[in-house]
Amino acid sequence: MKPQVASGDTPTGGTTTTEAAITATGVTVRYGSKVAVDNVDFSVAAGQIVGLIGPNGAGKTSLMECIEGLRKSSAGDIRVLGVDPVRDRTAMARIAGVQLQDSAYPTRTRVDELCTLFAGFYQDPADPDELLEQFGLTEKKRSQVTKLSGGQRQRLSLVLSLIGKPEIVFLDELTTGLDPEARRTVWDGLRRRNEEGLTIVLSSHHMEEVEYLCDRVSVIVAGSIVATGSVAELIAAHATGGERIIVEDAASHGALREALVELGDGVTVTPAGNRIQVDIDDASLRDRVTALFDEHSAVSRAVTASMDDVYVALTKQHATDGE
Ligand SMILES: Nc1ncnc2c1ncn2[C@@H]1O[C@H](COP(=O)(O)OP(=O)(O)OP(=O)(O)O)[C@@H](O)[C@H]1O
């Protein structure tokens, strides 16, 4: 029987199970005495987009490299669509594509030549032109790889990871260095591939990206997965329970800030550039806060909780737990 994995809540409150694309149990990665990944269980259902987030050095790349088969874990068991990624490199190359953080390609080669070279590795490759188009590189087709910008090279490595028509792709910080338009192009291209059945595992430091793309997200801190769920589940469980309001033009609102601080523990006042971030944890103070805004003629806007809040709450909590 194929391994199954819970893939999320159904509208009736139960959970659905689908074929597991990845099952990783008890994965540990040690570098000498350093434990970079500590007895982690991680699973991904086929057809999902799953994100790994966490601070620098948390262990995201180490865990992903083990799942990709590029690194042998110190302990644990990993299967990718039933394949042992370290032992069966040939099967792994057939089913999985990998976009690496620092990809080095022959520098004098042109983009289209490199795509043709990669396509030659596979029996039934994807159409490189279609991929270049999908990820906004058609105009760079005849450019030497060395003449591409960092963001264009990043997109090229994504195209190359998809040329073998993988069933699952691993993307490590995929849009780092991309401008906002290129980022949207990449996200939309990936969504389309996902709709065609591609399973995607990505690590990211961009919470907006995770919110836009991911069906499920795992948060990794100091080598352990500390939370997993959909974006909505994580926000409901871990984002600040109160209300957040942003006040513009902090420079002219010193007195307002002092008055808010005097309200005590139920209100947290945080300077944020030329804005003031006001978190109302005690709802009974809401009217007094509003009255102060009116009194000081402050321009304010409420913001909804996001993955940023989840990230900050969990990394703070687990950094403190670890102390
Ligand atoms: N080859 C290595 N030798 C020794 N230590 C390593 C090696 N690779 C990673 N580490 C250490 O293991 C820990 C986890 O690193 P890893 O690269 O997996 O983290 P990450 O979450 O991907 O970080 P980032 O967000 O910065 O990419 C870090 O403390 C790092 O210094």
Can you tell me whether residue 43 is helix, strand or coil?
strand
In the chain, alpha helices (H)? 60-68, 89-95, 111-119, 128-134, 150-162, 180-195, 207-213, 231-238, 254-261, 286-295, 307-321
Shortest-distance atom of ligand 1 to CA 63: 18
Cβ 288 vs Cβ 263: under 8 Å: yes
Cα–Cα dist 30/39, whole Å: 11
Can you tell me whether residue 269 is helix, strand or coil?
strand
Average confidence score pLDDT of the chain: 89
Confidence at residue 236, expressed as pLDDT on a 0 to 100 scale: 86
β-bridge pairing 300-303 and 243-248: antiparallel
Q: Ligand 1 centre and the CA of 297: distance in Å?
A: 49
Q: What's the mean pLDDT in 160-175?
A: 93
- Asked whether the predicted pLDDT for residue 40 surpasses 80, the reply is yes
Give 213: exposed, middle or buried? Use CB within 10 Å, 0-12, 13-18, 19+: buried
Pocket (CB within 6 angstroms of ligand 1): 31, 34, 36, 54, 56-62
Q: Which residue has its alpha carbon closest to ligand 1 atom 29?
A: 57
Torsion angles phi and psi, residue 13, rounded to 5: 95, -10
Q: Sorting pLDDT into bands at 50, 70 and 90, what band is 1?
A: very low
Give 301: exposed, middle or buried? Use CB within 10 Å, 0-12, 13-18, 19+: exposed
- Asked whether the predicted pLDDT for residue 291 surpasses 60, the reply is yes
Torsion angles phi and psi, residue 315, rounded to 5: -70, -35
Q: What is the CATH number of domain 4-237?
A: 3.40.50.300
Can you tell me whether residue 169 is helix, strand or coil?
strand
Torsion angles phi and psi, residue 237, rounded to 5: -85, -30
- Asked whether the predicted pLDDT for residue 10 surpasses 90, the reply is no
- Asked whether the predicted pLDDT for residue 278 surpasses 50, the reply is yes
Task: Please give the span between the terminal C-alpha atoms of the chain, in angstroms, as a whole number.
Answer: 43
Cα–Cα dist 135/220, whole Å: 29
Cα–Cα dist 237/240, whole Å: 9
- Asked whether the predicted pLDDT for residue 89 surpasses 60, the reply is yes
Shortest-distance atom of ligand 1 to CA 101: 27
| Higher local confidence (pLDDT), 57 or 3 | 57
Q: What is the ipTM of this complex?
A: 0.97
Q: What's the mean pLDDT in 129-153?
A: 92
Q: Which residue has its alpha carbon closest to ligand 1 atom 12?
A: 36
Q: Ligand 1 centre and the CA of 243: distance in Å?
A: 36
CATH 3.40.50.300 residue ranges for the chain: 4-237
Q: Sorting pLDDT into bands at 50, 70 and 90, what band is 290?
A: very high
Cα–Cα dist 69/312, whole Å: 31
Q: What is the CATH number of domain 240-304?
A: 3.30.70.120
Cα–Cα dist 210/141, whole Å: 29
Return the amino acid letter for 173.
E
- Asked whether the predicted pLDDT for residue 35 surpasses 80, the reply is yes
Q: What's the mean pLDDT in 255-276?
A: 92
CATH 3.30.70.120 residue ranges for the chain: 240-304
Shortest-distance atom of ligand 1 to CA 52: 21
pTM: 0.83
Confidence at residue 18, expressed as pLDDT on a 0 to 100 scale: 64
